[in-house]
Amino acid sequence: MYTFGYFWLVILAILGAINSSQADLQLNFYAKTCPKAEEIVQDYVHEHIPNAPSLAATLIRMHFHDCFVRGCDASILLNFTSSSGNQTEKIAIPNQTVRGFDFIDRVKGLVEAECPGVVSCADIIALVARDSIVVTGGPFWRVPTGRRDGQISNAPEALTNIPAPFFNFTQLQTSFANKGLDLRDLVLLSGAHTIGIAHCFPGFSNRLYNFSGILGNQDPSLDSEYAANLKARKCKTINDTTTIVEMDPGSFRTFDLSYYRLLLKRRGLFQSDAALITSSTTLSYINQLLQGSLLNFYQEFALSMEKMGRIEVKTGSSGEIRKHCAFVNS
């Protein structure tokens, strides 16, 4: 009996260790230590995002990019310092077009004024991302809090871990699986591209001018009429780094299902968008979403966002609560 009981104690301990980081996140984590924290975040978002609604897309992208590198620990916010000697995630190619760092800093400043050293930058990113989408008319999702901030940020890790716009289906599947996300999550989280914008280069101009590394080649999986329009009106050269293109033309300010309809018309902007219809599994998920209601999409998207927000989180005594989001505590 002792051996049997001891065996189950060991199993429970292992399971507890596996789930501890997720278990330590909880809704209203700051209810006693900083009861106004989430209200402060929400009020600031409601005051400023309606005046700059395009920030909602970049803030949810920041959350995504943060979680895919060392987990949701605000490592994306850290600046280079001579003491660390590391070029941080901020300067990595995938993050060079991420905006909103100053927005996060201002929210952090307000929260710090209310409760110094209590609320993490990682939680602020997660809350701001959610509230920004909601205030622009998109879906609500639960944000359990209690994340702590990481103390390491390396640019090469961002390049390695963040899914690239030129990824094929197999690369996407592997990238998401490495973070505990499945193919349904891949389809649903890609749905945030409905409010996305992209730069011609390095985002997708290779599909127009240099597909497969052959100059003059156009990606045959991209609708030819759409490609011709992009060349004529948007990305007139392969190296255009300034022109911005809507990922869901005509509907990019509305969090809806039209992104998926464009995929079926072979008008996904990135190769990674087009890749979603190359698998029978993800294509089936897309068709299911399109046959369902917008509310159903919102509910499913919410579940995947909450799941993403739990990736490799630091809780308890791991990490720290940064005083300033761009720097580790001295």
Give, rounded to a whole angstrom, the gap between the first and last alpha carbons of the chain.
Answer: 52
Cis peptide before 202 (omega within 30 of 0): yes
Report the binding-site residues for substrate.
163
Report the binding-site residues.
66, 69, 71, 73, 75, 89, 163, 193-194, 248, 256
Measure CA 246 to chain center: 18
Using alpha carbons only, what angle is made at residue 63 by residues 60 and 67, rounded to the nearest 5 degrees?
145
Report the binding-site residues for heme b.
193
Report the binding-site residues for Ca(2+).
66, 69, 71, 73, 75, 89, 194, 248, 256
Question: In the numeric block, which tokens belong to residue 69?
Answer: 């590198």
The angle, 0 to 180 degrees and rounded to 10, between the axes of the packed helices 55-67 and 294-308 is 40
Considering 46, 48, 63, 65, which one is annotated as catalytic? 65
Residue 199 annotated in active site: no
* Residue entry with tokens 């310092």: 81
Question: In the numeric block, which tokens belong to residue 125?
Answer: 């990113």
Q: DSSP readout, 306-325? A: HHHTTTT---TTSSB--SBT
By annotation, the residues acting in catalysis are 65
